[in-house]
Structure 1
Amino acid sequence: MTDSQPIIGVTMGDPAGIGPEVIVKAYRRFLDSGRPIVIGDGDVLAAATEVCESDLRVKRVETVTDARFGSGAIPVVDLDNVGRLVRGEVREEYGNASLEYIERAIELAQAGEINGITTAPINKQATKLAGSTYAGHTGMLADRTDTSEYAMMLIESELRVTHVSTHVPLVEACQQVTTSSVLSTIRLTADALADLGDQDPTVGVAGLNPHASDGGLLGDTEATEIEPAVEQAREAGIDAVGPESPDTVYVRAAQGEFDCVVSMYHDQGHIPIKMLGFNSGQAVSGVNVTIGLPIIRTSVDHGTAFDIAGEGLASEQSLLDAFDVAVEMAHARTT
């Protein structure tokens, strides 16, 4: 670890979930690539060190400049916003705490005090109880950074996917497949791939209908909306290909034909990612990147896992991968 390595703010997520534990488990390996500082509650993080039987200490700091990055102690910007901790429970207090961690991380990133954000999982029921109208991190991040065009990219092993729409009912997702929305997602995807070191990517674009409408036999969205978007992207210099049949395009991408696949809706992109990312019933990796933001944000691709919180069983691999992607993007933006 050197002083030239990016500083990544790691938000603790829902205090009652596995976020604190996976941070403790991952911390020393974070130091291989970057300088991690936790934004959370110091007492909750200290309790997680006991759960994980770790010899790490928790070092509370008021500012990022106060932090010292070493293998013996985890620096944490301590918001001290959790009273009594009961793991595995949905509570308004915990939802509010997790939102405050994100708010502080955004402030630090916008001020240039940290080079990126990696988020542990929040619980949407808890944040709703706390009064949040957001379905997750993404909308909140976009609003706080005044970002109008953004998308979700998921990374798992050799497969990367982005989405035209995410957390909306399927009937609404189909309505959101327009030339402008597909073109925006293709452009955001190409820019994000450049941040990940690929300056000349090939972007596969999935169709909406089975077999990408099979020449118009199974719908016309491909011809009226998706094909024009692909053509305009190619005119802008992006190597976009499609619309391709959704039942084969992900296999082709995983085999190296495409650097990323633009998916038309949530499950179309999530299902192949989840299939790759689950092993023996537990998520072992997977990274969620919010693309299009002026700040870097990556996240785990799993939830709070309340059923195993406090048992020290959760895998830290997804968090490690998310942190490494944030570091990689931070390096790309500063070179």
Structure 2
Amino acid sequence: MRSHEPLIGITMGDPGGIGPEVIVKAYPKLREVARPLVIGDADVIEAAIDVCGVALAVEAVESVADASFDRDRIPVLDLDLVDELVRGEVREAYGAASLRYVERAIELAVAGEIDAITTAPINKQSTGLAGSEYAGHTGMLADYTDTENYSMMLVEDDLRVTHVSTHVPLREACDLVTTESVLETVRLTDEALRDLGVDSPSVGVAGLNPHASDGGLLGDEDDAEIRPAVERAREEGIDATGPESPDTVYVRAARGEFDCVVSMYHDQGHVPIKMLGFAGGDAVSGVNVTIGLPIVRTSVDHGTAFDIAGEGIASERSLVDAVEVAVDMVGDE
């Protein structure tokens, strides 16, 4: 029995996207495992309740301490940034609002007022119009917490992957595969797995080239950069294996051979995760975890879905999974 229900700050995401809808649909399930506090706009959440037909009321609060966490009222730390709600459109004002929600959540997490952050999706075009240079949440979270070494971990059922690089061009991603960057990602992966309750983590490290360079026939990066990183990780006591052929290592991990796969670049890790998480149609799942931060942050693994925003049909499964992972990482207190 958990002696403390973790207080999870859920950022509302882009007001014109599906974030508000998945939050209100998920709230009854989230309340069973945590004290969820939405950080956003109360009026937008109220509009989402109407669209989704959920039997909830909004409790607008000015501080964390004001939230009652009743099961029939969804508490919203109301930043009151949205003057007009138009769903499905890229808008500078919405980008600015979604960034402010994240900033406020970081402030609360660093101050210890909330136990973790779970983020609903933002829209990169909207945040770009608002002047943000970040490709997503991850870089912003790292900068605002003065974190130098961090990575993205994706979780889908029995498969977990982390990344040496994410939102960079593929040509640049190859240059970022160095012994130091791979070793640091392996270290972060091992630590994150322990935070998730894996006592003796096993880490598979994917190669960069097809068949992990096939003994040098298809390049030298795997032997020159990745293999030394794996050897150094093993010297540090980490159960790391690789470089492994990228076309089979994810299947092996899904079957239980590895607790996580370290991927060399964005699509190498995202494709297997999204094949699993998105194959079910509307019930999109999958969780994004930023590892290496001094705070706990998880996220849905889908976008703002402007094409269905306002229809009340978006699946809340990924958000439920993301909050549950956050609860696991916070642990008993």
TM-aligned CA distance change 1:106 to 1:245, over 3 Å: same
The equivalent residue for 2:226 is 226
> How many angstroms does 1:267 deviate by?
0.3
Instruction: Determine if the alignment matches structure 1 residue 139 to structure 2 residue 169.
Output: no
SS of corresponding position for 2:161:
strand
2:55 is paired with a residue whose SS is: coil
Q: Distance in 2 between matches of 1:192 and 1:247?
A: 24
Q: Is the 8 A contact 2:11 2:120 kept in 1?
A: yes
Match of residue 260 from structure 2: 260
Residue 67 of structure 2 is matched in structure 1 by 67
Alignment of 1:58 onto 2:76: no
| 1:1-56 deviation line (CA, Å, top 9, x unaligned) | 98711100000000000000000000010011111000000000000000001120
* Secondary structure, aligned partner of 2:59: strand
Structure 2 counterpart of 1:105, which letter? Answer: A
In the TM superposition, what are the counterparts of 1:1-335 in structure 2 within 5 Å? 4-282=4-282, 284-331=284-331, 334=333
Work out the CA distance in 2 between the residues paired with 1:153 and 1:322.
12
Structure 1 CA distance for aligned equivalents of residues 130 and 29 of structure 2: 33
Residue 140 of structure 1: how far off its partner (Å): 0.3
Paired residues of 1:164 and 1:265 also in contact (CA < 8 A) = yes
Normalising by structure 1, report the TM-score: 0.98
C-alpha separation in 2, matches of 1:180 and 1:4 = 39
Paired positions, count: 333
Q: Which moved more, 1:323-332 or 1:149-158?
A: 323-332
**In the alignment, is the contact (CA less than 8 A) between 1:283 and 1:302 conserved in 2?**
no
Read off the aligned partner of 1:128 and give its amino acid letter: G
CA contact (8 A) 1:12 1:19 kept: yes
Deviation per CA, 1:108-160, whole angstroms, max 9, x where unpaired? 00000000000000000000000000000000000000000000000001100
Q: Measure how far apart 1:282 and its partner are.
A: 3.3
In structure 1, how many angstroms separate the alpha carbons of the residues matched to 2:144 and 2:330? 20
1:296 maps to amino acid = V
Looking at structure 2, the residues matched to 94 and 237 of structure 1 have their Cα atoms a distance apart, in angstroms, of 46
Distance in 2 of aligned mates of 1:151 and 1:178: 15
Deviation track 1:249-286 (CA, whole Å, cap 9, x = no partner) reads: 00000000000000000000000001001135435210
Unaligned runs of 5+ in 2: none
Which letter maps to 1:61? Answer: V
Deviations 1:44-102 (A, max 9, x none): 00000000011200101111111111211000100000011100000000000000000
Contact 2:284 2:302 (8 Å CA) reproduced: no
Q: CA deviation at 1:199?
A: 2.1
Q: Displaced runs of 4+ in structure 1, greater than 4 A? A: none
User: 2:140 & 2:270 partners in 1: Cα distance?
Assistant: 21
Cα distance in 2 for partners of 1:51, 1:278 equals 24
Question: How many percent identity over aligned positions?
Answer: 73
Which residue identity lines up with residue 268 of structure 1 in the other structure?
Answer: Q
In 2, the alpha carbon distance for the partners of 1:279 and 1:223 equals 35
CA distance in 1, matches of 2:98, 2:237: 41
Contact 2:207–2:242 (Cα < 8 Å) also in 1: yes
